[in-house]
Amino acid sequence: MNRIKQLRMEKHLLQSDLAKHIGKSQRIVGFYENGERDPSTETLLKLADLFDVSVDYLLGKTDVKNFETIPLSEIDIAFASGIKGLNEENQETLKNIMEGLLAKQKLEEPEED
Tens digits of residue pLDDT in 27-47: 999 999 999 999 999 999 999
Closest CA to 68 of 83, 49, 41, 46: 49
What is the average pLDDT score of the chain?
A: 87
Residue % of the chain over a pLDDT of 90: 46
pLDDT at position 24, please? 97
- Whether residue 3 contacts residue 57, with contact meaning beta carbons closer than 8 Å, is answered with yes
Tens digits of residue pLDDT in 86-103: 888 988 888 888 888 888
Domain with CATH 1.10.260.40 in the chain: 3-66
Predicted model pTM:
0.60
Residue type, 24: K
Q: Write the DSSP assignment of 16-45 as a string of letters.
A: HHHHHHHT--HHHHHHHHHTSSPPPHHHHH
- Whether residue 95 contacts residue 101, with contact meaning beta carbons closer than 8 Å, is answered with no
CATH architecture of 3-66: Orthogonal Bundle (1.10)
